[in-house]
Protein backbone atom coordinates (compact mmCIF):
# COMPACT_ATOMS: atom_id res chain seq x y z
CA UNK A 1 0.00 0.00 0.00
CA UNK A 2 1.02 3.62 -0.38
CA UNK A 3 0.97 6.50 2.07
CA UNK A 4 -1.87 9.00 2.32
CA UNK A 5 -0.83 12.23 4.02
CA UNK A 6 -3.36 13.26 6.72
CA UNK A 7 -3.47 16.82 5.40
CA UNK A 8 -7.04 17.47 6.53
CA UNK A 9 -6.12 16.53 10.09
CA UNK A 10 -2.95 18.60 9.93
CA UNK A 11 -4.80 21.63 8.60
CA UNK A 12 -7.40 21.33 11.35
CA UNK A 13 -4.73 21.21 14.05
CA UNK A 14 -2.77 24.09 12.57
CA UNK A 15 -5.81 26.31 12.17
CA UNK A 16 -7.84 25.54 15.29
CA UNK A 17 -5.63 23.91 17.91
CA UNK A 18 -2.05 25.19 17.68
CA UNK A 19 -2.63 28.61 16.13
CA UNK A 20 -0.98 28.87 12.72
CA UNK A 21 -2.52 32.32 12.24
CA UNK A 22 -0.73 33.64 15.34
CA UNK A 23 2.59 32.24 14.11
CA UNK A 24 2.04 33.67 10.63
CA UNK A 25 1.48 37.11 12.22
CA UNK A 26 5.05 37.14 13.57
CA UNK A 27 7.54 39.45 11.81
CA UNK A 28 9.06 37.72 8.79
CA UNK A 29 6.34 35.11 8.39
CA UNK A 30 3.93 37.25 6.40
CA UNK A 31 4.16 34.92 3.41
CA UNK A 32 2.66 32.07 5.42
CA UNK A 33 -0.88 32.95 4.37
CA UNK A 34 -3.68 30.39 4.74
CA UNK A 35 -3.67 29.71 0.99
CA UNK A 36 0.10 29.20 0.91
CA UNK A 37 0.07 26.94 3.96
CA UNK A 38 -2.74 24.83 2.50
CA UNK A 39 -0.99 24.57 -0.87
CA UNK A 40 2.31 23.54 0.76
CA UNK A 41 0.61 20.82 2.78
CA UNK A 42 -1.18 19.45 -0.28
CA UNK A 43 1.92 19.47 -2.48
CA UNK A 44 4.07 17.92 0.25
CA UNK A 45 1.48 15.19 0.65
CA UNK A 46 1.62 14.45 -3.06
CA UNK A 47 5.42 14.34 -3.10
CA UNK A 48 5.48 12.04 -0.08
CA UNK A 49 2.90 9.63 -1.48
CA UNK A 50 3.94 9.68 -5.14
CA UNK A 51 7.73 9.96 -4.95
CA UNK A 52 9.01 8.91 -1.52
CA UNK A 53 6.59 6.20 -0.40
CA UNK A 54 7.10 4.00 -3.50
CA UNK A 55 10.84 3.89 -2.72
CA UNK A 56 10.48 2.93 0.93
CA UNK A 57 10.09 -0.85 0.63
CA UNK A 58 12.61 -1.33 -2.17
CA UNK A 59 15.08 0.94 -0.42
CA UNK A 60 14.78 -1.18 2.72
CA UNK A 61 15.35 -4.39 0.76
CA UNK A 62 18.24 -3.09 -1.29
CA UNK A 63 19.92 -0.92 1.33
CA UNK A 64 22.87 1.41 0.99
CA UNK A 65 26.05 -0.18 -0.39
CA UNK A 66 29.63 0.65 0.61
CA UNK A 67 32.72 0.39 -1.55
CA UNK A 68 36.14 2.00 -1.48
CA UNK A 69 34.83 4.53 -3.98
CA UNK A 70 32.06 5.63 -1.62
CA UNK A 71 28.48 4.82 -0.60
CA UNK A 72 25.80 4.12 -3.20
CA UNK A 73 22.18 4.75 -2.22
CA UNK A 74 19.35 2.46 -3.45
CA UNK A 75 17.84 2.71 -6.92
CA UNK A 76 15.77 5.84 -7.36
CA UNK A 77 17.19 7.59 -4.31
CA UNK A 78 19.42 10.00 -6.19
CA UNK A 79 16.67 11.01 -8.61
CA UNK A 80 14.17 11.46 -5.77
CA UNK A 81 16.60 13.67 -3.87
CA UNK A 82 17.23 15.78 -6.96
CA UNK A 83 13.49 16.25 -7.35
CA UNK A 84 13.21 17.00 -3.62
CA UNK A 85 15.74 19.82 -3.73
CA UNK A 86 14.66 21.14 -7.14
CA UNK A 87 11.10 21.43 -5.81
CA UNK A 88 12.31 23.61 -2.96
CA UNK A 89 11.46 21.26 -0.12
CA UNK A 90 14.90 21.47 1.44
CA UNK A 91 14.78 25.27 1.65
CA UNK A 92 11.27 25.56 3.12
CA UNK A 93 12.07 26.86 6.62
CA UNK A 94 15.47 28.46 6.02
CA UNK A 95 16.24 32.17 5.99
CA UNK A 96 15.73 34.02 2.69
CA UNK A 97 19.16 35.54 3.34
CA UNK A 98 20.65 32.27 2.09
CA UNK A 99 17.99 31.36 -0.45
CA UNK A 100 15.44 29.85 1.91
CA UNK A 101 11.69 30.37 1.73
CA UNK A 102 11.39 31.64 5.29
CA UNK A 103 8.37 29.56 6.26
CA UNK A 104 7.65 28.98 9.99
CA UNK A 105 9.10 26.02 11.83
CA UNK A 106 5.53 25.03 12.67
CA UNK A 107 4.71 24.45 9.02
CA UNK A 108 8.03 22.71 8.50
CA UNK A 109 7.18 20.30 11.34
CA UNK A 110 4.00 19.25 9.55
CA UNK A 111 5.84 18.77 6.28
CA UNK A 112 8.67 16.81 7.89
CA UNK A 113 6.16 14.36 9.28
CA UNK A 114 5.18 13.46 5.72
CA UNK A 115 8.79 12.73 4.71
CA UNK A 116 9.27 10.41 7.69
CA UNK A 117 5.91 8.68 7.40
CA UNK A 118 6.42 7.91 3.75
CA UNK A 119 10.15 7.12 3.89
CA UNK A 120 12.06 7.68 7.11
CA UNK A 121 15.36 6.49 5.65
CA UNK A 122 15.15 9.20 3.00
CA UNK A 123 13.93 11.89 5.40
CA UNK A 124 16.99 11.47 7.60
CA UNK A 125 19.23 13.15 5.03
CA UNK A 126 17.51 16.58 4.96
CA UNK A 127 16.97 16.27 8.73
CA UNK A 128 20.72 16.33 9.35
CA UNK A 129 21.28 19.08 6.78
CA UNK A 130 18.67 21.19 8.53
CA UNK A 131 20.54 21.05 11.83
CA UNK A 132 23.92 21.70 10.19
CA UNK A 133 22.57 24.80 8.48
CA UNK A 134 21.24 26.16 11.77
CA UNK A 135 24.56 25.59 13.54
CA UNK A 136 26.59 27.33 10.81
CA UNK A 137 24.08 30.17 10.47
CA UNK A 138 24.04 30.76 14.23
CA UNK A 139 27.74 30.49 15.09
CA UNK A 140 30.10 30.54 12.08
CA UNK A 141 31.96 33.45 10.53
CA UNK A 142 30.45 35.37 7.63
CA UNK A 143 33.09 33.80 5.39
CA UNK A 144 31.95 30.27 6.23
CA UNK A 145 28.30 31.25 5.90
CA UNK A 146 28.90 32.68 2.43
CA UNK A 147 30.90 29.65 1.36
CA UNK A 148 28.47 26.93 2.47
CA UNK A 149 24.99 28.02 3.43
CA UNK A 150 23.41 28.86 0.08
CA UNK A 151 24.14 25.43 -1.39
CA UNK A 152 23.22 23.62 1.81
CA UNK A 153 19.94 25.52 2.02
CA UNK A 154 19.07 24.69 -1.56
CA UNK A 155 19.92 21.04 -0.98
CA UNK A 156 22.71 21.06 -3.53
CA UNK A 157 25.01 20.02 -0.66
CA UNK A 158 24.04 18.04 2.44
CA UNK A 159 25.26 18.26 6.04
CA UNK A 160 26.13 15.82 8.83
CA UNK A 161 26.77 15.85 12.56
CA UNK A 162 29.91 14.05 13.78
CA UNK A 163 29.91 13.61 17.56
CA UNK A 164 30.15 9.95 18.57
CA UNK A 165 33.42 8.06 18.79
CA UNK A 166 33.94 4.36 19.55
CA UNK A 167 35.00 5.04 23.14
CA UNK A 168 32.82 8.11 23.73
CA UNK A 169 29.20 7.16 22.98
CA UNK A 170 26.93 9.76 24.57
CA UNK A 171 29.76 10.91 26.86
CA UNK A 172 31.19 13.71 24.74
CA UNK A 173 33.71 14.55 27.45
CA UNK A 174 35.60 11.48 26.17
CA UNK A 175 35.97 12.81 22.60
CA UNK A 176 39.56 12.31 21.35
CA UNK A 177 39.51 13.60 17.76
CA UNK A 178 42.21 16.23 17.38
CA UNK A 179 42.46 19.51 15.51
CA UNK A 180 45.92 20.93 14.80
CA UNK A 181 45.98 24.59 13.69
CA UNK A 182 47.68 25.23 10.37
CA UNK A 183 47.37 28.69 8.85
CA UNK A 184 43.74 29.59 8.18
CA UNK A 185 42.49 26.09 8.92
CA UNK A 186 42.98 23.05 11.13
CA UNK A 187 43.96 19.47 10.37
CA UNK A 188 41.42 17.08 11.85
CA UNK A 189 42.35 13.53 12.84
CA UNK A 190 40.17 10.88 14.44
CA UNK A 191 37.31 8.47 13.89
CA UNK A 192 33.57 9.07 14.25
CA UNK A 193 30.88 6.41 14.27
CA UNK A 194 27.11 6.27 13.67
CA UNK A 195 27.24 9.18 11.18
CA UNK A 196 23.95 9.32 9.30
CA UNK A 197 24.50 10.00 5.59
CA UNK A 198 28.20 10.50 6.28
CA UNK A 199 28.73 9.51 2.67
CA UNK A 200 26.34 9.04 -0.26
CA UNK A 201 26.01 9.67 -3.99
CA UNK A 202 23.02 12.05 -4.03
CA UNK A 203 24.90 15.37 -4.00
CA UNK A 204 28.22 16.74 -5.18
CA UNK A 205 29.46 17.64 -1.69
CA UNK A 206 28.81 16.73 1.96
CA UNK A 207 29.60 19.19 4.73
CA UNK A 208 30.57 17.56 8.01
CA UNK A 209 30.30 19.33 11.36
CA UNK A 210 32.93 17.67 13.54
CA UNK A 211 33.71 17.88 17.25
CA UNK A 212 37.45 17.78 18.03
CA UNK A 213 40.06 19.06 20.48
CA UNK A 214 42.77 21.63 19.79
CA UNK A 215 46.26 20.98 21.25
CA UNK A 216 45.90 23.12 24.39
CA UNK A 217 42.23 22.43 25.02
CA UNK A 218 41.16 21.74 28.62
CA UNK A 219 39.91 18.28 29.48
CA UNK A 220 36.24 17.36 29.36
CA UNK A 221 33.42 19.07 27.53
CA UNK A 222 35.01 22.49 28.05
CA UNK A 223 37.76 21.57 25.61
CA UNK A 224 35.65 20.65 22.59
CA UNK A 225 35.63 22.76 19.43
CA UNK A 226 33.44 22.56 16.33
CA UNK A 227 34.72 22.43 12.76
CA UNK A 228 33.31 22.53 9.25
CA UNK A 229 34.97 19.70 7.29
CA UNK A 230 33.82 19.43 3.64
CA UNK A 231 34.07 16.19 1.71
CA UNK A 232 35.53 18.20 -1.17
CA UNK A 233 37.54 21.35 -0.54
CA UNK A 234 36.27 24.42 -2.36
CA UNK A 235 37.90 26.07 -5.33
CA UNK A 236 38.23 29.85 -5.40
CA UNK A 237 34.93 30.08 -7.28
CA UNK A 238 33.15 28.08 -4.54
CA UNK A 239 32.79 24.85 -6.51
CA UNK A 240 33.94 21.49 -5.12
CA UNK A 241 37.60 20.83 -5.82
CA UNK A 242 40.17 18.47 -4.29
CA UNK A 243 39.05 15.53 -2.16
CA UNK A 244 39.49 16.16 1.55
CA UNK A 245 41.04 13.56 3.83
CA UNK A 246 37.64 12.54 5.22
CA UNK A 247 36.28 9.17 4.18
CA UNK A 248 33.64 6.62 5.05
CA UNK A 249 35.52 3.40 5.84
CA UNK A 250 32.43 1.25 6.42
CA UNK A 251 28.70 1.36 6.98
CA UNK A 252 26.76 -0.36 9.74
CA UNK A 253 24.45 -3.35 9.21
CA UNK A 254 21.37 -2.25 11.13
CA UNK A 255 18.04 -3.47 12.42
CA UNK A 256 16.21 -0.94 10.26
CA UNK A 257 16.54 2.17 8.06
CA UNK A 258 18.67 0.05 5.72
CA UNK A 259 18.62 2.63 2.93
CA UNK A 260 20.11 5.32 5.19
CA UNK A 261 23.90 4.87 5.32
CA UNK A 262 25.18 4.92 8.92
CA UNK A 263 28.87 5.54 8.43
CA UNK A 264 32.15 5.04 10.22
CA UNK A 265 34.06 8.17 9.25
CA UNK A 266 37.85 8.41 9.27
CA UNK A 267 39.26 11.93 9.39
CA UNK A 268 42.94 12.44 8.64
CA UNK A 269 44.13 8.92 7.92
CA UNK A 270 46.68 10.50 5.59
CA UNK A 271 47.76 14.14 5.86
CA UNK A 272 44.83 15.32 7.96
CA UNK A 273 41.34 16.52 7.03
CA UNK A 274 41.10 20.25 6.45
CA UNK A 275 38.59 21.82 8.82
CA UNK A 276 37.49 25.36 9.60
CA UNK A 277 36.74 26.51 13.12
CA UNK A 278 33.14 27.45 13.89
CA UNK A 279 33.05 30.37 16.34
CA UNK A 280 35.60 30.19 19.15
CA UNK A 281 37.80 27.35 20.29
CA UNK A 282 36.45 25.23 23.17
CA UNK A 283 32.84 26.30 22.65
CA UNK A 284 31.97 23.53 20.23
CA UNK A 285 29.54 21.70 22.47
CA UNK A 286 27.49 24.87 22.97
CA UNK A 287 27.34 25.36 19.21
CA UNK A 288 26.57 21.72 18.52
CA UNK A 289 23.52 21.89 20.79
CA UNK A 290 21.97 24.29 18.27
CA UNK A 291 22.09 21.42 15.80
CA UNK A 292 21.25 18.73 18.32
CA UNK A 293 18.11 20.45 19.62
CA UNK A 294 16.85 20.86 16.06
CA UNK A 295 17.48 17.17 15.55
CA UNK A 296 15.77 16.16 18.79
CA UNK A 297 12.51 17.79 17.78
CA UNK A 298 12.83 16.27 14.32
CA UNK A 299 13.44 12.78 15.73
CA UNK A 300 10.39 13.19 17.96
CA UNK A 301 8.43 13.87 14.79
CA UNK A 302 9.95 10.74 13.26
CA UNK A 303 8.63 8.64 16.13
CA UNK A 304 4.95 9.42 15.61
CA UNK A 305 5.35 9.84 11.85
CA UNK A 306 6.42 6.23 11.36
CA UNK A 307 3.62 5.19 13.72
CA UNK A 308 1.17 7.09 11.48
CA UNK A 309 2.25 4.97 8.52
CA UNK A 310 2.08 1.82 10.65
CA UNK A 311 -1.48 2.80 11.57
CA UNK A 312 -2.48 3.36 7.95
CA UNK A 313 -1.09 -0.04 6.97
CA UNK A 314 -2.72 -1.81 9.92
CA UNK A 315 -6.09 -0.16 9.22
CA UNK A 316 -6.00 -1.18 5.57
CA UNK A 317 -5.14 -4.75 6.52
CA UNK A 318 -7.85 -4.88 9.22
CA UNK A 319 -10.48 -3.76 6.73
CA UNK A 320 -9.51 -6.45 4.24
CA UNK A 321 -8.70 -9.34 6.56
CA UNK A 322 -11.82 -11.44 7.21
CA UNK A 323 -11.66 -13.86 10.07
CA UNK A 324 -14.27 -15.01 12.58
CA UNK A 325 -17.57 -13.48 13.71
CA UNK A 326 -17.48 -10.10 15.37
CA UNK A 327 -19.29 -8.44 18.23
CA UNK A 328 -19.50 -4.94 16.83
CA UNK A 329 -22.52 -4.35 14.63
CA UNK A 330 -25.85 -6.12 14.42
CA UNK A 331 -24.88 -9.27 12.55
CA UNK A 332 -22.38 -12.01 13.24
CA UNK A 333 -21.21 -12.51 9.68
CA UNK A 334 -17.52 -12.82 9.00
CA UNK A 335 -16.33 -9.29 8.14
CA UNK A 336 -13.10 -7.40 8.36
CA UNK A 337 -11.25 -7.77 11.64
CA UNK A 338 -11.49 -4.00 11.94
CA UNK A 339 -14.80 -4.74 13.68
CA UNK A 340 -13.29 -7.03 16.29
CA UNK A 341 -13.31 -5.13 19.61
CA UNK A 342 -9.67 -5.78 20.46
CA UNK A 343 -8.49 -4.86 16.98
CA UNK A 344 -10.54 -1.67 17.20
CA UNK A 345 -8.90 -0.98 20.57
CA UNK A 346 -5.45 -1.28 19.06
CA UNK A 347 -6.31 0.92 16.07
CA UNK A 348 -7.79 3.59 18.32
CA UNK A 349 -4.75 3.39 20.59
CA UNK A 350 -2.51 4.00 17.59
CA UNK A 351 -4.50 6.84 16.12
CA UNK A 352 -5.15 8.78 19.33
CA UNK A 353 -1.54 8.68 20.49
CA UNK A 354 -0.25 9.75 17.08
CA UNK A 355 -2.68 12.65 17.26
CA UNK A 356 -1.60 13.73 20.74
CA UNK A 357 2.09 13.47 19.80
CA UNK A 358 1.45 15.49 16.64
CA UNK A 359 -0.10 18.36 18.60
CA UNK A 360 2.75 18.43 21.11
CA UNK A 361 5.36 18.52 18.33
CA UNK A 362 3.45 21.36 16.67
CA UNK A 363 3.34 23.19 20.01
CA UNK A 364 7.09 22.79 20.39
CA UNK A 365 7.81 24.06 16.87
CA UNK A 366 5.45 27.01 17.32
CA UNK A 367 7.12 27.89 20.63
CA UNK A 368 10.48 28.22 18.90
CA UNK A 369 8.90 30.35 16.17
CA UNK A 370 7.66 32.74 18.85
CA UNK A 371 10.99 32.57 20.68
CA UNK A 372 12.79 33.66 17.52
CA UNK A 373 10.40 36.23 16.07
CA UNK A 374 8.16 37.81 18.72
CA UNK A 375 9.02 41.50 19.28
CA UNK A 376 8.59 41.35 23.08
CA UNK A 377 11.67 40.15 25.00
CA UNK A 378 9.71 38.61 27.88
CA UNK A 379 7.38 36.74 25.57
CA UNK A 380 10.32 35.46 23.56
CA UNK A 381 11.97 34.21 26.76
CA UNK A 382 8.74 32.54 27.90
CA UNK A 383 8.35 30.70 24.60
CA UNK A 384 12.01 29.73 24.65
CA UNK A 385 11.41 28.04 27.99
CA UNK A 386 8.32 26.35 26.56
CA UNK A 387 10.13 25.00 23.51
CA UNK A 388 13.04 23.77 25.62
CA UNK A 389 10.65 22.13 28.10
CA UNK A 390 8.68 20.36 25.37
CA UNK A 391 11.71 19.20 23.36
CA UNK A 392 12.68 16.25 25.61
CA UNK A 393 8.99 15.31 25.97
CA UNK A 394 8.46 15.31 22.21
CA UNK A 395 11.72 13.50 21.59
CA UNK A 396 11.43 10.98 24.43
CA UNK A 397 7.72 10.29 24.79
CA UNK A 398 6.81 10.42 21.09
CA UNK A 399 9.53 7.98 20.13
CA UNK A 400 8.80 5.52 22.95
CA UNK A 401 5.13 5.65 22.06
CA UNK A 402 6.00 5.38 18.37
CA UNK A 403 7.81 2.07 18.88
CA UNK A 404 4.90 0.71 20.92
CA UNK A 405 2.42 1.74 18.24
CA UNK A 406 4.48 0.20 15.43
CA UNK A 407 4.53 -3.00 17.46
CA UNK A 408 0.73 -2.83 17.69
CA UNK A 409 0.70 -2.48 13.91
CA UNK A 410 2.49 -5.82 13.66
CA UNK A 411 0.10 -7.32 16.21
CA UNK A 412 -2.96 -6.27 14.19
CA UNK A 413 -1.53 -8.13 11.20
CA UNK A 414 -1.19 -11.24 13.35
CA UNK A 415 1.24 -13.78 11.97
CA UNK A 416 1.37 -11.88 8.69
CA UNK A 417 2.85 -8.93 10.54
CA UNK A 418 5.91 -11.02 11.36
CA UNK A 419 6.41 -11.68 7.67
CA UNK A 420 8.48 -9.02 5.92
CA UNK A 421 6.39 -8.97 2.75
CA UNK A 422 3.47 -7.24 4.46
CA UNK A 423 5.66 -4.24 5.29
CA UNK A 424 4.43 -3.98 8.89
CA UNK A 425 7.73 -5.20 10.32
CA UNK A 426 9.72 -2.50 8.53
CA UNK A 427 7.96 0.25 10.44
CA UNK A 428 8.83 -1.37 13.75
CA UNK A 429 12.44 -1.93 12.68
CA UNK A 430 12.80 1.63 11.38
CA UNK A 431 11.14 3.28 14.36
CA UNK A 432 13.23 1.43 16.93
CA UNK A 433 16.19 3.76 16.47
CA UNK A 434 14.21 6.90 17.32
CA UNK A 435 14.35 6.51 21.15
CA UNK A 436 18.13 6.13 20.77
CA UNK A 437 18.99 8.84 18.22
CA UNK A 438 20.18 12.24 19.48
CA UNK A 439 20.29 11.18 23.10
CA UNK A 440 18.48 8.15 24.50
CA UNK A 441 15.20 8.42 26.38
CA UNK A 442 17.17 8.31 29.63
CA UNK A 443 19.17 11.34 28.52
CA UNK A 444 15.98 13.16 27.55
CA UNK A 445 14.43 12.29 30.92
CA UNK A 446 17.44 13.61 32.84
CA UNK A 447 17.36 16.77 30.73
CA UNK A 448 13.65 17.28 31.41
CA UNK A 449 13.97 16.76 35.14
CA UNK A 450 17.33 18.43 35.67
CA UNK A 451 17.84 21.31 33.23
CA UNK A 452 14.21 21.96 32.35
CA UNK A 453 12.50 21.53 35.74
CA UNK A 454 14.85 21.56 38.72
CA UNK A 455 17.31 24.09 37.31
CA UNK A 456 14.74 26.89 37.00
CA UNK A 457 12.76 25.88 40.07
CA UNK A 458 9.89 24.65 37.96
CA UNK A 459 9.17 27.97 36.22
CA UNK A 460 8.70 26.40 32.80
CA UNK A 461 6.39 23.75 34.24
CA UNK A 462 4.33 26.37 36.07
CA UNK A 463 3.91 28.32 32.84
CA UNK A 464 2.77 25.14 31.10
CA UNK A 465 0.29 24.45 33.90
CA UNK A 466 -1.03 27.98 33.58
CA UNK A 467 -1.86 27.40 29.93
CA UNK A 468 -3.40 24.02 30.70
CA UNK A 469 -5.60 25.64 33.35
CA UNK A 470 -6.72 28.20 30.79
CA UNK A 471 -7.96 25.29 28.66
CA UNK A 472 -9.73 23.94 31.74
CA UNK A 473 -11.56 27.25 32.10
CA UNK A 474 -12.53 27.23 28.43
CA UNK A 475 -13.92 23.72 28.80
CA UNK A 476 -15.88 24.75 31.90
CA UNK A 477 -17.48 27.57 29.91
CA UNK A 478 -18.15 25.47 26.80
CA UNK A 479 -21.62 24.25 25.85
CA UNK A 480 -20.23 21.19 24.07
CA UNK A 481 -21.66 17.92 25.35
CA UNK A 482 -18.15 16.43 25.53
CA UNK A 483 -16.64 19.39 27.38
CA UNK A 484 -17.40 18.05 30.85
CA UNK A 485 -15.56 14.74 30.37
CA UNK A 486 -12.65 16.56 28.74
CA UNK A 487 -12.53 18.95 31.69
CA UNK A 488 -12.42 16.04 34.14
CA UNK A 489 -9.62 14.29 32.26
CA UNK A 490 -7.58 17.46 31.86
CA UNK A 491 -8.04 18.33 35.53
CA UNK A 492 -6.54 14.97 36.47
CA UNK A 493 -3.55 15.61 34.22
CA UNK A 494 -3.00 19.11 35.60
CA UNK A 495 -3.13 17.74 39.14
CA UNK A 496 -0.66 14.97 38.33
CA UNK A 497 1.87 17.33 36.75
CA UNK A 498 1.61 19.78 39.65
CA UNK A 499 2.00 17.06 42.28
CA UNK A 500 4.82 15.16 40.60
CA UNK A 501 6.82 18.29 39.81
CA UNK A 502 6.59 19.44 43.43
CA UNK A 503 7.50 15.95 44.61
CA UNK A 504 10.62 15.84 42.46
CA UNK A 505 11.61 19.42 43.16
CA UNK A 506 11.65 18.61 46.88
CA UNK A 507 13.45 15.26 46.51
CA UNK A 508 16.81 15.43 48.32
CA UNK A 509 18.19 12.06 47.24
CA UNK A 510 19.70 12.46 43.76
CA UNK A 511 19.56 8.70 43.11
CA UNK A 512 15.81 8.62 43.74
CA UNK A 513 15.26 11.66 41.53
CA UNK A 514 17.37 10.24 38.71
CA UNK A 515 15.63 6.87 38.90
CA UNK A 516 12.28 8.66 38.61
CA UNK A 517 13.26 10.75 35.58
CA UNK A 518 11.99 8.31 32.96
CA UNK A 519 8.63 7.96 34.69
CA UNK A 520 8.47 11.76 34.92
CA UNK A 521 9.06 12.14 31.19
CA UNK A 522 6.42 9.55 30.32
CA UNK A 523 3.93 11.08 32.76
CA UNK A 524 4.50 14.47 31.17
CA UNK A 525 3.92 12.96 27.75
CA UNK A 526 0.62 11.28 28.59
CA UNK A 527 -0.56 14.30 30.59
CA UNK A 528 0.27 16.91 27.96
CA UNK A 529 -1.35 14.53 25.49
CA UNK A 530 -4.56 15.01 27.47
CA UNK A 531 -4.13 18.75 27.06
CA UNK A 532 -3.74 18.25 23.31
CA UNK A 533 -6.91 16.19 23.08
CA UNK A 534 -8.84 18.63 25.30
CA UNK A 535 -7.97 21.44 22.90
CA UNK A 536 -9.13 19.28 20.02
CA UNK A 537 -12.48 18.91 21.78
CA UNK A 538 -12.80 22.69 21.97
CA UNK A 539 -11.68 23.05 18.35
CA UNK A 540 -14.51 20.85 17.06
CA UNK A 541 -16.78 23.87 17.52
CA UNK A 542 -14.90 25.45 14.61
CA UNK A 543 -15.41 22.53 12.24
CA UNK A 544 -18.27 22.69 9.74
CA UNK A 545 -17.82 19.01 8.90
CA UNK A 546 -20.00 17.26 11.49
CA UNK A 547 -18.70 13.77 10.71
CA UNK A 548 -15.13 14.98 11.07
CA UNK A 549 -15.96 16.70 14.35
CA UNK A 550 -17.67 13.56 15.65
CA UNK A 551 -14.54 11.54 14.87
CA UNK A 552 -12.35 14.04 16.76
CA UNK A 553 -14.60 13.81 19.80
CA UNK A 554 -14.54 10.01 19.70
CA UNK A 555 -10.74 9.98 19.48
CA UNK A 556 -10.46 12.41 22.38
CA UNK A 557 -12.82 10.35 24.54
CA UNK A 558 -10.84 7.20 23.84
CA UNK A 559 -7.62 8.98 24.81
CA UNK A 560 -9.11 10.25 28.06
CA UNK A 561 -10.56 6.84 28.97
CA UNK A 562 -7.91 4.43 27.75
CA UNK A 563 -4.60 6.25 27.27
CA UNK A 564 -4.41 9.11 29.78
CA UNK A 565 -4.57 6.77 32.82
CA UNK A 566 -1.01 5.68 31.98
CA UNK A 567 0.07 8.97 33.55
CA UNK A 568 -1.34 7.87 36.91
CA UNK A 569 0.67 4.65 36.77
CA UNK A 570 3.86 6.64 36.21
CA UNK A 571 2.95 8.89 39.14
CA UNK A 572 2.59 5.89 41.41
CA UNK A 573 5.96 4.58 40.24
CA UNK A 574 7.55 7.92 41.14
CA UNK A 575 5.74 8.08 44.47
CA UNK A 576 7.01 4.60 45.31
CA UNK A 577 10.56 5.50 44.35
CA UNK A 578 13.36 4.50 46.72
CA UNK A 579 17.07 3.98 46.28
CA UNK A 580 17.04 0.44 47.74
CA UNK A 581 17.06 -1.07 44.27
CA UNK A 582 20.25 0.78 43.39
CA UNK A 583 22.15 -0.34 46.48
CA UNK A 584 22.27 -3.95 45.25
CA UNK A 585 25.76 -5.05 44.26
CA UNK A 586 25.87 -5.15 40.48
CA UNK A 587 27.47 -8.59 40.66
CA UNK A 588 24.15 -9.90 41.97
CA UNK A 589 22.18 -8.69 38.96
Active-site residue set:
438
Q: Count CA atoms within 13 Å of residue 113 on its CB side.
A: 31
Q: How is 447-465 classified by DSSP, letter by letter?
A: HHHIIIIITTTTHHHHHHH
Written as one string, the DSSP assignment of 160-194 is EEE---TTTTT-GGG---EEEEETTEEEEEEEEEE
Measured between alpha carbons, how far is residue 474 from residues 383, 427, 467, 496 in Å?
22, 38, 11, 20
* CA geometry: angle 304, 539, 5, nearest 5 deg: 35
Q: Residue 163 contacts by C-beta under 8 Å, 6 or more apart in sequence?
A: 172, 175, 192, 211, 288
State the Rg of the chain over Cα.
Answer: 24
Length of the chain (residues): 589
How distant is the alpha carbon of residue 24 from its chain centre? 22
Return the SS3 of 584: coil
**230 DSSP β-pair partners:** 207
Please give the Cα distance from 518 to 309 (Å, whole number): 27
What 3-state class would DSSP assign to 239? coil
SS3 for 84-135 is HHHCCCCCCCCCHHHCCCCCCHHHHHHHHHHHHHHHHHHHHHHHHHHHHHHH
567, 523 Cβ separation under 8 angstroms: yes
Provide the 10 A C-beta neighbour count for residue 371.
19
**C-alpha angle 513-515-521 in degrees, rounded to nearest 5:** 85
Tell me the C-alpha distance between 368 and 273, whole Å: 35
CA–CA separation, 283 and 222 (whole Å): 7
The dihedral sign for the CA sequence 212, 216, 217, 219: positive
Residues 6+ apart with CB under 8 A from 462: none
Residue 301 to residues 70, 354, 373, 473, 489, Cα–Cα distance (Å):
30, 10, 22, 30, 25
Residue 319 to residue 342: CA distance in whole angstroms: 14
Pair 265, 246: CB distance under 8 Å? yes
Task: Give, in order, the Cα–Cα distances in Å from 506 to each of 58, 283, 500, 572, 578.
Answer: 53, 33, 10, 17, 14
DSSP 3-state assignment of 65?
strand
Q: How far is CA 324 from the centre of its chain?
A: 39
Amino acid sequence: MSYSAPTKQMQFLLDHVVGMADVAALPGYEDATPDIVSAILEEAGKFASEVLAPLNWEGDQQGAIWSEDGVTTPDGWKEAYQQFSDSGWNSLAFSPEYGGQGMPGLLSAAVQEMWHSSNMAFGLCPLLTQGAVQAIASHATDELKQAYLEKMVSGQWTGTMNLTEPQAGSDLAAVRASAEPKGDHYLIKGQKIFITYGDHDMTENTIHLVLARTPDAPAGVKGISLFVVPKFLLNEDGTPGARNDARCVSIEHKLGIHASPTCVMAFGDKEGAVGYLVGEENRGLVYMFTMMNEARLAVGIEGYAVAEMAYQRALAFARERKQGPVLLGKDTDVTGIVNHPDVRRMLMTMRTQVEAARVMAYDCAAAFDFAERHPDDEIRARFRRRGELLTPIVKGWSTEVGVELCSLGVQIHGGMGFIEETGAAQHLRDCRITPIYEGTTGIQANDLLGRKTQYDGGQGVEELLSDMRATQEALAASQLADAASAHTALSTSVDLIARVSQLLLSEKNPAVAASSANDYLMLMGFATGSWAMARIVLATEQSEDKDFAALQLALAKFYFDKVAPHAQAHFLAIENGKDDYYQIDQAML
